[in-house]
Amino acid sequence: MKEAGWEVEVLYPDQSYQAAYSFDPECTQYYPEVSEHPVGSWMPGIFRALGSRSIGIRGGAPLARQGLELLQSRKYDVVYFSTTQHLLTCAGPWWRKKTGVPYVADVHDPVYIPHPKYRTSRNGLKAILARQMGRWIERRALAQADGIVSVSRGYIDDLLLRNPCSRWARSEMEDGRRKVGLNKLGHVLVQPFPADERALEMAKAERGRAGKKRIVYVGAGGTIMEKGWREFLAALKKESASREIIIEIYGTNPFWKEGDRRFLQAIAEEMGLPGVVIEEPTRVSYERSLALVKGADGLLVLGVDDPNYQPSKLHTYLATGLPIMVLARAGSALPDQLRGVGDGVGLLEFGEGGRGQLEGGIRCYLEAVKGANRWLGRRFLTAGEGVLAHIKFFEKVTRK
């Protein structure tokens, strides 16, 4: 963004809010220097006594105050909220009222799920409160934003359905019925996560022991991914080549302790594939995740039971040129998105209405892995393209 003439400053809750397991200091080598404004912890003793670990709850007030001071100290064109701590985005309407600076909210995960299929918390009351807070955040912060950025059009459609009078949308009457659509200024940007080419190039490949070909997956791996995982394993079991590969899975559960179940590995063993899947659930640093990917013979992208889901590492994986198998929920936008990237990408569409193995099935995928095939000319979304799209979008939002 600096190369394109935009000055960037970052306001964020500092490391005192973070759990020790999430510290990843080596990441700083991958990113350029920008002006930083870290926000210190606020009443840590009280929040510790209450048992609250939410960064949004603990950091919302001090971040809102410091942000207002910055916005009043000099001219800013736009505020961009890009965080999974969506409660922090609620400072946006207040800042705009006080300073007139528009704000854009990034929605790369759903903030509110009306009827969740899966439990994400052992505490039922906490889950109910979190869902109600998510609905409030949608109305208070996301519906009031001057622009919305999302990795999935489905997330935008869901927001619009529940909040037809959003600031970034328009509502008209047609044949006596209210018609909802995106506003004429186009204050919505839908774009998947771009490839991190620079970090990928800098990372050193971590290779396994000689022998079987290695297929690597790094990322989350809970019950929300079980449906696609089972369909993939059922198809894999029919292939004789499955005995010649090993699937290594990393970073599925940062809270995993020795003796806990290795969820995805256990399913593979239950389905008659012992020794094929090796799962290391503990958290993997970003640097090591790139090293594991570079040292693999093939890559795997697990899909969740949600057609709107957009894998964060997909385009970084595409940039490697390695054979890739993508598991996508039926109705997902991924099949269309992958159609133009080139060869070496297999797809399994799972779930009700799914079409199973598409364009390059598991057999072709395994042959490519065994043959050490590479597609370095493959098309993917670059970081530069992603930045330019954001800049054009910000210019639209700030145009008077």
- The reported pLDDT for the residue numbered 173 is 41
- For residues 63 and 168, state if they share a domain: yes
- For residues 102 and 251, state if they share a domain: no
79 is a domain residue:
yes
- For residues 159 and 16, state if they share a domain: yes
393 is a domain residue:
yes
Distances (CA, A) of 135 to 87, 92, 123: 11, 16, 19
CB-CB contact of 361 with 205 (8 Å): no
Q: For the chain, how many structural domains are there in total?
A: 2
307 is a domain residue:
yes
Kindly state the tokens that stand for 283: 């958290």
- For residues 85 and 103, state if they share a domain: yes
> Residue 50 contacts by C-beta under 8 Å, 6 or more apart in sequence?
none
> Residue 82 contacts by C-beta under 8 Å, 6 or more apart in sequence?
106, 108, 149
- For residues 24 and 41, state if they share a domain: yes
Distances (CA, A) of 101 to 10, 145, 168, 183, 398: 16, 11, 15, 20, 9
Grouping H, G, I as helix, E, B as strand and the rest as coil, residue 208 is coil
User: Which residues in the chain show pLDDT less than 70?
Assistant: 47, 49-51, 115-127, 170-186, 209-210, 359-360, 400
- The reported pLDDT for the residue numbered 188 is 93
Identify the CATH number of the domain in which residue 72 sits: 3.40.50
- For residues 159 and 256, state if they share a domain: no
- For residues 247 and 156, state if they share a domain: no
Kindly state the tokens that stand for 208: 């396994």
- Quick: pLDDT tens for 26-80: 777 777 788 999 998 877 777 676 667 778 788 888 999 999 999 999 999 999 9
Minimal CA–CA distance to 304: which of 326, 283, 282, 320?
A: 326
- For residues 239 and 364, state if they share a domain: yes
Prediction pTM value = 0.88
78 is a domain residue:
yes
For the chain, what's the residue count? 400
